Each structure stands twice: as structure tokens, then as C-alpha cells.
Amino acid sequence: VVLPERLVLRPARPDDVDQVAALLADRGDAADAVDLRLVVSDPDEGLSSCAVVVDGTQVVSTATLLRETLVVGGVEVSAGQVELVATRPGYEGQGLVRALMQWAHERSRARGDLVQIMIGIPYFYRQFGYAYAIPMPRWRAVDAVPPSDPHVVVRRATPGDIPAMRSLQDAAQAPATVRMPHSAACWRWLVARDGSTQWVAERDGSAVATGRSTPPDEGGALGELAAADAPAALSLVNHVRSIASSELVVAERPGTLAGDAVEPFLVPAESRADWYYARIERLGPLLERLAPVLLSRLAAAGLADRTHEVLLSSFRSHVRFSIGPHGMSPVVEGGPLQAPGSAGGSGVPPDALAPLLFGPEGAAGLAARLPDCYLGRQGELMAALFPPVAADLLTFYLPV
Ligand SMILES: CC(C)(COP(=O)(O)OP(=O)(O)OC[C@H]1O[C@@H](n2cnc3c(N)ncnc32)[C@H](O)[C@@H]1OP(=O)(O)O)[C@@H](O)C(=O)NCCC(=O)NCCS
């Protein structure tokens, strides 16, 4: 990416921070300025996680790459998330964010990330290799105020509550095949930032529920609800509802203790889900990382009695590997391969790869929907290796 003359892209320096904060507040929300300072002063992220484009001494565009871990079937996959993106009016449409995304992806690749996840404005990030891959929770209004347990006290969380909140979230995420917990750094920001309030509910001095809400004057949205029991979850919703200035919406979390407890108090779902973006730059290394997951799926499908040669082409490039009773081979990457079906393989277009690995449709569902996704003779194997999966992601920003 070539930047317009005079403009320079570089990591942020200490004396840029005020300007970056002002730019983010101007183009987004006042809370973004607070968030930026939390990120760049955190020992796990720091200033080098933020890049700027400058025109002389003026910061005209910025983006920040956060460290994340995606857990897929129990296997940890190092990931990146781009946040805090903005360009100064007058400098838009000149490729500055395109250049910053390239910087972020190079940094992400260099530190070993195999995936990038994002929450972003509609369509824009598709231009940089992202696909809509994972449904976000739907937000549903509280219909009837749930009862409060008189033995439960709800209060703002402090840093000392982080271990207890983390274990409540771990339990809530356990049923999901694909999950992204908050990083240690993100937990520090959540109890310090003012863009959302982190709540903890206690009974007899023990944390029994947690959740996070947007400021009451913004209407109130309560997400990331997790609880040890149903009365604790309901008490937390009751408390946040009592301080909301208007209708409270709650992020559904089906299959979790808290989500199922709150379900009867929510209006029926009417909105369709929004989606997280995900980006897979190279399929080969990711599949190698996920070998234990693929092997256990093969065994669960009763297909581990013989070795299978897998060919998966994304048309511009393809991968081959074998998988069977003796394990999984290294994944060999190759160039354009137009007709994988005639070679016994499957075709999956690049923008269906993240949905294939992390999404609710699986190989068979994608093949039923997309004309350029077809499984061919290895259809049964593809359906076994890439089933529909449920995901639960925790992100710095509530996906509201
Ligand atoms: C959205 C925003 C970040 C884009 O920044 P930018 O520096 O203008 O983006 P770029 O010029 O690098 O855009 C890359 C390409 O997308 C195009 N583009 C710009 N804004 C777009 C949009 N909203 N939707 C689709 N395409 C867009 C550009 O024209 C450019 O096209 P080209 O490479 O074919 O010439 C900027 O407009 C902004 O700060 N908006 C307000 C804050 C915001 O929405 N932040 C994003 C939060 S996720």
C-alpha cells in the first residue's frame, strides 16, 4: 500500500497519545479515548500495539492490534483483533486504514497469530480479507422484571474480583466449541474503563454472577452474563434493570446457566443476529494447529479406520494433507487449483474458510448455500472434519 506523499505510517510514540485519543473521541465515542490510554499503558500491549499515520506532526489515522486467544475444541489459537480505528475527516478514502490494516496483519503474522477476529462497520473489513463467520448474541429487551434474591448483593467489580469473574465466564463458555475468553489485559481494562460497567453479584461473600452493561443514559445493554445459579443471574438483571433509564436489552447466551435462567424474562427474539468478522490468511498452519481437533472429529465420526487424502482448494490456493489412524500429516500448501472436484477434493472459496472453521453452518451447510463451495467425493469426510460449531466470544467492546 502506497500512502499519499508526505504521509508516514509508524508505531505510535508517547507524544502521539493525546492526538490519537482526541481523534478516536472525535470519530467515535469519548470512552474510546479512555480505552486507548488503558491499552497503550498496559504491560501486555503497550504503545507498540497502536500505529498512526502522520502528516507532519499531526496524527491523521490510527488503528490498534490487540492480542487474543481463540480456543477451538480445547486447542488454543493465537489471534489478533483490530480496534480503535479512525481517520481524520479530510484524509478519508485515501487508503490510510487499508495501510494500517496491512500493518496490523503483518504484526499479527509476525507474532504467530493464525486468525484475526473483528467487530466492525458493515462490509468495510471484507476488503481486507475478513468474512462474516460467527453470529453475535442477539439483544433482547427485558419484558418482565426478574425477581431478586435477598441474599445477593450486586456491586461494581474491582480488580480483586477478576479471578472469580474469569471462572464464571470460563464455566459459561465451556459448552461452546469455539470460544474467546477476555485476555488478562482486557480484564484490567474492563474494571477500569467508563464505556461499560463491570458488575459482580455476591452471596455470602462469594461471587455468584457477573455481567457488563453500557451506561444507563445510553438506554442500557447488559452482556456477558454468567452466573453460578439462576437466582444470582436474575438478581443481576434485576439490579441493572432498576438503574437503566429506559428499556434494558440483554445479550442472549443460550445453553448457559445464566442465559437459560433469564430467557423467560426476555421478549421473543425478532432481530436477526449480527456477525463477527474473522480472517484466515493461511489455512495450512491453522489446520496443523487444529490437528488434535480434526483427529478427534474423525474418530467420533467412525472414519479413523483408514487414511484419507484431503484436498481442499480455495481456487487461488489449495492445501493437501492426510489424516487417519496414524495421525495427521503436515499440511502442504499449493497455488491455484480450479477444479478440485475432478481430483477428488473439495472447493471452498476464501471468504468461506472462516465460516467453515468457526461458524454454525459447517461444511455441509456452506455447500448447500454457496455455488462455489462443493464437497465432492470427500463430502462425508468434510462434514465430519468441519461440523457446525457454536461459538462464544468475549471482546473488549460489547457487540451491541
Ligand atoms: C471508516 C474509516 C475508518 C475509513 O478510513 P479511511 O482511511 O477513509 O479508509 P481507507 O481509505 O483506507 O479505505 C479503504 C478503501 O475502502 C473505501 N472506503 C472508505 N470508507 C468506506 C466505507 N465506510 N465502506 C466501504 N468502503 C469504504 C475507500 O474508498 C478505500 O477504497 P480503495 O482502496 O478502493 O480506494 C473512517 O471513515 C472513519 O474514521 N470513520 C469514522 C469512525 C469509524 O467508523 N471507525 C471504524 C470503526 S470499526
Q: Are 390 and 255 in contact (CB under 8 A)?
A: yes
Atom 23, ligand 1: residue with shortest CA distance: 124
What confidence score (pLDDT) does residue 251 get? 97
What confidence score (pLDDT) does residue 383 get? 98
The CB-side HSE value for 47 (13 A sphere, CA atoms) comes to: 11
Output the average pLDDT for the chain: 97
Ligand 1 centroid to 9 CA: how many Å? Answer: 16
Is any atom of ligand 1 closer than 6 Å to the C-beta of 62?
no
What confidence score (pLDDT) does residue 316 get? 97
The 8-class DSSP code of residue 8 comes to E
Distance CA 168, CA 176 (A): 14
Span 17-54, pLDDT tens digits: 999 999 999 999 999 999 999 999 999 999 999 999 99
pLDDT band (50, 70, 90) for residue 200 = very high
Ligand 1 centroid to 52 CA: how many Å? Answer: 15
Ligand 1 centroid to 209 CA: how many Å? Answer: 39
What confidence score (pLDDT) does residue 217 get? 75
Total-model pTM: 0.96
Span 148-181, pLDDT tens digits: 999 999 999 999 999 999 999 999 999 999 999 9
Is any atom of ligand 1 closer than 6 Å to the C-beta of 27?
yes
Q: Are 251 and 237 in contact (CB under 8 A)?
A: no
Is any atom of ligand 1 closer than 6 Å to the C-beta of 81?
no
User: For strand 7-11 and strand 221-227, is the pairing parallel, antiparallel, or unpaired?
Assistant: unpaired
User: For strand 58-72 and strand 178-180, is the pairing parallel, antiparallel, or unpaired?
Assistant: antiparallel
What confidence score (pLDDT) does residue 295 get? 98
- The alpha carbon of 162 is separated from its chain's Cα centroid by a whole number of angstroms, namely 20
Span 315-326, pLDDT tens digits: 999 999 999 999
- With cell 478514502, the residue in question is 93
Atom 1, ligand 1: residue with shortest CA distance: 86
Ligand 1 centroid to 28 CA: how many Å? Answer: 14
Is any atom of ligand 1 closer than 6 Å to the C-beta of 28?
yes
Q: What's the average model confidence in pLDDT over 347-355? A: 98
Atom 32, ligand 1: residue with shortest CA distance: 95
Mutate to test the pocket of ligand 1, among 85, 128, 274 (most ligand atoms within 8 A of CB): 85
pLDDT band (50, 70, 90) for residue 207 = very high
Three cell numbers written together for 23 = 481523534
Is any atom of ligand 1 closer than 6 Å to the C-beta of 124?
yes
Ligand 1 centroid to 277 CA: how many Å? Answer: 16
Span 75-106, pLDDT tens digits: 999 999 999 999 999 999 999 999 999 999 99
- The alpha carbon of 351 is separated from its chain's Cα centroid by a whole number of angstroms, namely 17
pLDDT band (50, 70, 90) for residue 263 = very high
Q: Are 105 and 128 in contact (CB under 8 A)?
A: yes
Q: Is the pLDDT of residue 216 over 90?
A: no
Q: Is the pLDDT of residue 113 over 90?
A: yes
What confidence score (pLDDT) does residue 333 get? 98
Ligand 1 centroid to 84 CA: how many Å? Answer: 13
Q: Is the pLDDT of residue 1 over 80?
A: no
Three cell numbers written together for 137 = 448474541
What is the torsional sign of CA 100, 101, 106, 108?
A: positive
Neighbours of 114 (CB within 10 A): 23
Ligand 1 centroid to 194 CA: how many Å? Answer: 27
**What DSSP line would sit under 138-160, residue for residue?**
PEEEB-SPPP--TTEEEEE--GG
State which ligand 1 atom lies nearest to the alpha carbon of 87. Answer: 39
Q: What's the average model confidence in pLDDT over 122-151? A: 97
Specify the amino acid at residue 335.
Answer: G
Phi then psi for 175, rounded to 5 degrees?
-70, -20
101 to 20, 51, 117, 279: CA distances (angstroms)? 16, 10, 12, 12
What confidence score (pLDDT) does residue 245 get? 82
What confidence score (pLDDT) does residue 235 get? 98
What confidence score (pLDDT) does residue 170 get? 98
Phi then psi for 64, rounded to 5 degrees?
-130, 135
Helix ranges restricted to H, the chain: 17-27, 30-40, 96-110, 162-173, 184-190, 230-243, 257-262, 283-289, 291-300, 353-358, 362-369, 379-385
341, exposed or middle or buried, with CB in 10 Å at 0-12, 13-18, 19+? Answer: middle
Three cell numbers written together for 79 = 489471534
Give percent of the chain with pLDDT exceeding 90.
95
Q: What's the average model confidence in pLDDT over 47-73? A: 98
